[in-house]
Amino acid sequence: MGKNKKTRKVVMQRFAQMKKMISPSDSRIKLEQRAPPRKKKPEDLTEIKIKEAPQQSSALFFQYNTQLGPPYHILIDTNFINFSIKNKLDIVQNMMDCLYAKCIPYITDCVLAELEKLGAKYKIALKIIKDPRFERVHCMHKGTYADDCLVNRVTQHKCYIVATNDKDLKRRIRKIPGVPIMYVSQHRYTIERMPDAYGAPKT
């Protein structure tokens, strides 16, 4: 019995010590160091709620992209060039064979930087890019990660087709409505999500 009383006394002393501590949300503590109150303020039903919704592109008619049309503007990814070289495909000619129209391939600064980083193995790819038929797109953002660059550009401007064989990049672009994807398959170029109105080949 005496032992129980002793342990109870110790517990009570510890509880008293805990009570002495100031709670982190106490008004005596400076505002910067004060913890936010646990109880949320009741919502004011009369207050006007503002919701920010992302603005839809004027290029889209539902899921249909009205800015796509010949001559087609095609943004090229690093691995698309490498796959084209492996399959011995002329980039511009095969793009025209795929889409039955004039195609203008575009190379961003990020893609060029990525190819230069890869070194001497990709000298042929760099020579192909410097062809006058390829147009350069200058990047204004920081960093040289090509995937992010292409996704941002396609989100802002819906007039491009993205040429890539990268699975991750394809997955990201599929989430953006109205942007077709070109890729190398069975030694030829294939297009994905192209509207039928422009006479795109059916795969």
Write down the pLDDT at residue 63: 63
pLDDT along the chain (203 residues), means of 10: 60 59 71 72 76 70 75 92 92 91 92 86 86 89 82 89 92 89 91 61 49
| Residue of 128, 90, 83 whose CA lies nearest to 107 | 128
How far apart are alpha carbons 18 and 14 in whole angstroms? 6
Task: Kindly state which CATH superfamily the domain 61-198 is placed in.
Answer: 5'-nuclease (3.40.50.1010)
Predicted TM-score (pTM) of this structure: 0.66
How far apart are alpha carbons 34 and 150 in whole angstroms? 44
The token duo for 113 is: 């930087």
Looking at the DSSP bridge assignments, the partners of residue 160 are 73
Write down the pLDDT at residue 160: 92
pLDDT digits (tens, 9 = 90+) for 22-50: 677 777 777 777 777 676 777 777 778 77
Domain boundaries, the chain: 61-198
How big is the CA angle at 39 (ends 34 and 42), to the nearest 5 degrees? 120
3-state secondary structure of 164: coil
Pair 162, 154: CB distance under 8 Å: yes
